[in-house]
Structure 1
Amino acid sequence: MSDAKRLPAEVMEQLFTAARTHNGWLDREVPDALLELALDYAKWGPTSANCSPMRIVFVRSQEAKQRLAPAMSAGNLAKTMAAPATAIIGYDLDFPDLLPQLYPATDARSWFAGNDALIEETAFRNGTLQAGYFLLALRAVGLDAGPMSGFDKATVDAEFFKNTRIRSNFLINIGYGDVAQLYPRGPRLAFEDMAKIL
């Protein structure tokens, strides 16, 4: 990549090196417009055959939080109830139905006909990939995030995805993080411990 296309160091810090996984939240509302903007950026990330299986429910109201609460593990309950918003990241097993619209170059829907294992694998992989884009998009629009597992998926699916073929993957608490509640930052692996160039 040429230096002309490289993002400034402060942008990379906001997206990666200075960004943190937050557990505590300031009492500051997250505007709907920022959630919409983040998703509007994230949707442009690549997926196989543009399948775009990620689906999100944003849990914001107290009523919705109370519906989510029974599914949360003890360690994740308080911070989730305190977060201004929680995104339930799901993946849609009916994504092939939209392939004629999303990938009109060929009959991609036929690739998945009768192949439930391929549908599950493709939806999970690409939905997770999209969630990664969404996490970076949240940071890019100035929000903080706390992605996590630690919840009962069956309970969430029954409560928020009833009568659909959407399955929950993980949650992201969203807001403006309280830096006073951050843990010391954990180390990361060195390049040579993660990769090799052949």
Structure 2
Amino acid sequence: MGTPLSDDALDTIFRTARTYNGYRDKPVSEGQLEAIWDLMKMGPTSANMLPARMVWCISADAKAKLAAHTMPANGKKILAAPTTVIIAMDTNFHELLPEFFPHDQTAKSWFSDDAFRKQSAFRNSSLQGAYFIIAARAIGLDTGPMSGFDNDAVDKAFFPDQPAVKSNFISTIGYGDPETIFERSPRPSFARFNTIA
């Protein structure tokens, strides 16, 4: 059984955390990126499939290559951010299940259907993307997750020799500039969108 987090921790991860459109001029270290991965990899995925594949765009060249395939407003954010990550998915994740799900050596066969495997990769890499956001916030960083890019073009640019790897979404990372956030948008009450059956 876990211990409830403090209000300060809940604020950091959820209540006062925000999506940032710009960042302070402060770098993000590779050690911090590894720390994010070491947390997010612990989040649950179906059969421990871990389909997410991450490309951390740190260099100016990598950020420019990515920005070229996004909406103009998103491209500006990417170029100005300390780091941007592509959260992608390996649709052939099942090849690694004998290693990652060793207690059932039949698990690879569960995903022999291409459509089901791609659906599973998308769902679970999206979960891992959410874990990424929480992990980044937990170690004191801010994020700016976004769509608004050409998936096919990004895949050709960053995964030319990996046809099974497909981009899901992207996110900037850094120390958020409070001047770049919008006023908090409404959040519905429990009663509005929830049913207890």
The two structures have a TM-score, normalised by structure 1, of: 0.96
- In the alignment, is residue 20 of structure 1 matched against residue 18 of structure 2? yes
1:81 to 79, 82, 89: 79
The residue correspondences of 1:1-198 to structure 2 (distance < 5 A) are 5-106=3-104, 107-113=106-112, 115-164=113-162, 165-198=164-197
Tell me by how many angstroms 1:128 deviates.
Answer: 0.4
The amino acid of 2:21's aligned partner reads N
Distance 2:149 2:168 in 1: 10
The structural deviation recorded for 1:181 is 1.6
Once the 2 structures are TM-superposed, how far is the Cα of residue 141 of structure 1 from its aligned partner? 0.4
Where does structure 1 differ by over 6 angstroms across 4 or more consecutive aligned residues? none
Q: Which runs of 5+ in 1 are unaligned?
A: none
Structure 1 letter corresponding to 2:190: F
Higher deviation after alignment, 129-138 or 4-13: 4-13
CA drift at 1:63? 1.1
Structure 2 residue runs without a partner (length 5+): none
Kept in 1, the 8 Å contact 2:143–2:176? The answer is yes
Q: Aligned partners of 1:171 and 1:69: how far apart in 2?
A: 11
Question: 2-side partners of 1:177 and 1:171: how far apart?
Answer: 16
- Amino acid of the residue matched to residue 195 of structure 2? K
Report the count of equivalent residues.
Answer: 195
Q: Provide, for residues 123-152 of structure 1, a one-character-per-residue CA deviation record: whole Å limited to 9, x for no partner.
A: 000010111111100000000000000011
RMSD: 1.1
Measure how far apart 1:69 and its partner are: 2.0
Contact 2:67–2:76 (Cα < 8 Å) also in 1: no
1:161-187: per-residue Cα shift (whole Å, max 9, x none)? 112111000001000110012111101
- Contact 2:89/2:168, CA 8 A, preserved across alignment: yes
1:14 shift after superposition: 0.1
Percent identity, please.
Answer: 44
Output the TM-score relative to the length of structure 2.
0.96
Structure 1 counterpart SS, 2:68: helix
Distance 2:5 2:160 in 1: 42
- Could you tell me which amino acid in structure 1 is paired with residue 5 of structure 2? L
